[in-house]
């Protein structure tokens, strides 16, 4: 494995590509629904189009709000983020998927990089169960430790996620598909947290804790 060296502009561009990838599908569905409304006179078809537009708008909004906290500045340097806000955007993010979300832990104001890391770990865990299932999030030790579990059919640690979080790839490069776990590793480093992965049968467990 080779350490990845990435210019700031390239990191920004790849993250933008990732966000655009996440929202282009629901936005495209909204456009399709509007085109149906323009041309269709049948009441039942128009109702289906309205339903499609409403669902897709909710999905696009949820994905953008999640990205704002997970990838965005989320306030000035040194700002804190409410874990209640993180829970809210995470629930909205998975609401249109075949996935449930459990969340335990006191509502806390934590340094923003810790909360950004938690949301990025939820994204990685969600990718561990491509057929859906259950995500379980624990905020422990006053926010000093996170445990995220993903349970579902054919659960697996997302390919190369541990290496990407460690800042390494086979050829020392990273693309838009892999930028999210790589970015999560950068956030973990900034937050002073170590991350580990484990799998047992159909459960993938991701644990993050403050360094001693």
Domain that holds residue 87: 2-210
pLDDT at 165 over 70: yes
Number of neighbours of residue 21 by Cβ within 10 angstroms: 12
Sign of CA dihedral 51, 54, 58, 64: positive
136 vs 149: CA distance, rounded Å: 5
Average pLDDT of the chain to the nearest whole number = 93
Q: Where do the DSSP E strands lie in the chain?
A: 2-3, 80-82, 99-104, 109-111, 133-140, 145-151, 168-169, 193-200, 203-210
Q: What angle in degrees, to the nearest 10, is found between the helix axes of 112-127 and 179-191? A: 150
Q: What is the pLDDT of residue 83?
A: 96
CATH of the domain at 7: 3.30.565.10
173-179 contacts, C-beta under 8 A, 24 or more apart: 173/4, 174/4, 174/6, 174/14, 175/14, 176/14, 176/17, 176/18, 176/21, 179/11, 179/14, 179/15, 179/17, 179/18
pLDDT at 75 over 70: no
Q: What is the pLDDT of residue 77?
A: 57
pLDDT at 196 over 80: yes
Side-chain half-sphere CA neighbours of 49 within 13 A: 16
pLDDT at 5 over 80: yes
- Parallel, antiparallel, or unpaired: how do β-strands 133-140 and 99-104 relate? parallel
For 88-146, what is each residue's pLDDT tens digit? Answer: 999 999 987 789 999 999 999 999 999 999 999 999 999 999 999 999 999 999 999 99
3-class state of residue 129 by DSSP: coil
- Of the pLDDT bands very low, low, confident and very high (cuts 50, 70, 90), residue 212 is confident
| Domain count for the chain | 1
Number of neighbours of residue 209 by Cβ within 10 angstroms: 16
34 vs 47: CA distance, rounded Å: 12
**% residues pLDDT > 70 (the chain):** 97
Q: Is 121 exposed, middle or buried (0-12, 13-18, 19+ CB in 10 A)?
A: buried
Q: What is the pTM of this model?
A: 0.93
């Amino acid at each position: 494995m080779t350490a990845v060296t990435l210019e700031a502009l390239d990191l920004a561009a790849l993250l933008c590509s990732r966000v655009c990838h996440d929202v282009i599908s629901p936005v495209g569905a909204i456009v399709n629904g509007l085109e149906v409304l323009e041309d269709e006179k049948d009441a039942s078809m128009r109702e289906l189009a309205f339903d499609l537009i409403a669902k897709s708008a909710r999905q696009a909004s949820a994905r953008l709000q999640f990205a704002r906290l997970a990838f965005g500045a989320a306030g000035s340097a040194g700002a804190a983020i409410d874990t209640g806000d993180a829970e809210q955007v995470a629930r909205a993010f998975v609401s249109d998927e075949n996935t449930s979300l459990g969340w335990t832990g006191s509502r806390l104001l934590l340094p923003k990089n810790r909360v950004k890391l938690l949301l990025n770990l939820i994204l990685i865990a969600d990718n561990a169960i491509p057929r859906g299932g259950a995500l379980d999030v624990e905020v422990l030790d006053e926010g000093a430790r996170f445990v995220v579990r993903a349970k579902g059919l054919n659960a697996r640690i997302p390919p190369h996620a541990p290496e990407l979080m460690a800042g390494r790839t086979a050829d020392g490069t990273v693309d838009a598909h892999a930028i999210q776990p790589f970015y999560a590793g950068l956030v973990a480093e900034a937050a002073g947290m170590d991350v580990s992965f484990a799998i047992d049968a159909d459960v993938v467990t991701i644990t993050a804790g403050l360094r001693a």
